[in-house]
């Protein structure tokens, strides 16, 4: 594992145990950054970090449940003590609960907002407090195209992602004067465990994917014009770009990475 040079900044990625979060951690690490991988799934997180370590990449596990009060402040302090200044934060942790509003439980609603909205708030606040004195940094929140386009059976999820989106843009306005950029990446259907969890048990994977790509007129959902599901890597590359010097004059923006499914948002 590469040694961290004094003063060298790195990236914190939440939800890093799988899917887009794991792909983002990998993308940062492959570019030579140290990465603090945060997730509440300790076993899966450990496996991912061990795999990256075998490739010689500097990715370190920081287990944390961001629904616990104080967890964000604690893990951010731990990361900066162990690794160094945080240059980029990627809020990728998320949960999905589906179903009609009339059948959505109070617990489902609370879980969606606890992770998808409050988790984003608490991590962003904790990191921003440390970025402000340094006068630099980048925060990217992984939202969803459902946060801008209504989805039948996904009202709670969409509402939580819309909250995270507007919070991040408002945060960016507050932090712009400190040289800190805040942006949103809004993926569409991406081939992750979260998406596959929506498919019926025992369903053929290829057929399920094709149904997503084709869309569903009955649910007022168009298909994916590019004709394929996104890969986690596709989303990760957009995130890393927004955190890079190449995006140095980009802030308060929402980038849809959905193959055209939202018709440009």
Report the alpha-carbon distance of residue 113 to residue 223 in Å, rounded. Answer: 27
CA angle 32, 256, 14 (to 5 degrees): 45
pLDDT at 192: 78
The full set of domains in the chain, from first to last, is 10-188+235-256 (3.40.50.720), 193-229 (no CATH)
Active site residues: 157
* Count of C-beta atoms within a 10 Å radius of residue 221: 19
- Kindly report the pTM of this predicted structure: 0.93
Can you give the pLDDT of all 265 residues of the chain as single tens digits?
Answer: 444 444 579 999 999 999 999 999 999 999 999 999 999 999 999 999 999 999 999 999 999 999 999 999 999 999 999 999 999 999 999 999 999 999 999 999 999 999 999 999 999 999 999 999 999 999 999 999 999 999 999 999 999 999 999 999 999 999 999 999 999 999 988 887 876 776 576 677 888 878 887 888 888 788 999 999 999 999 999 999 999 999 999 999 999 999 999 998 7
What is the C-alpha to C-alpha distance for residues 83 and 85, in angstroms, rounded to an integer? 7
Helix 155-175 / helix 119-134 crossing angle, nearest 10 deg: 10
Q: Which of 26, 6, 11 is nearest to 86 (CA)?
A: 11
Q: Which of 80, 54, 51 is nearest to 62 (CA)?
A: 80
pLDDT of the residue at 206: 83
């Amino acid at each position: 594992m590469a040694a961290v040079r004094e003063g060298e900044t790195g990236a914190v990625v939440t939800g890093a145990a799988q899917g887009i979060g794991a792909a983002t951690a990998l993308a940062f690490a492959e570019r030579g950054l140290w990465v603090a991988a945060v997730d509440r799934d300790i076993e899966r997180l450990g496996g991912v970090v061990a795999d990256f370590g075998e490739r010689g990449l500097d990715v370190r596990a920081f287990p944390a449940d961001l629904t616990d009060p104080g967890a964000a402040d604690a893990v951010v302090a731990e990361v900066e003590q162990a690794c160094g200044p945080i240059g980029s934060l990627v809020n990728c942790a998320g949960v999905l609960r589906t179903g009609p509003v009339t059948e959505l439980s109070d617990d489902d609603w609370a879980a969606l907002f606890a992770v998808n909205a409050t988790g984003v708030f608490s991590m962003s606040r904790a990191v921003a407090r440390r970025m402000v004195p340094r006068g630099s940094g980048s925060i990217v929140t992984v939202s969803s195209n459902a946060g801008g386009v209504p989805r039948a059976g996904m009202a709670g999820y969409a509402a939580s992602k819309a909250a995270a989106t507007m919070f991040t843009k408002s945060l960016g306005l507050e932090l712009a004067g400190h040289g800190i950029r805040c942006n949103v990446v809004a993926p569409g259907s991406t081939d992750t465990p979260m998406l596959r969890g929506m498919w019926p048990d025992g369903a053929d994977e290829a057929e399920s994917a094709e149904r997503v790509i084709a869309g569903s007129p009955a649910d007022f959902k168009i298909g994916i014009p590019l004709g394929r599901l996104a890969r986690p890597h596709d989303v990760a590359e957009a995130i890393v770009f927004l955190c890079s010097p190449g995006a140095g004059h980009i802030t308060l923006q929402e980038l849809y990475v959905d193959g055209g499914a939202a018709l440009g948002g």
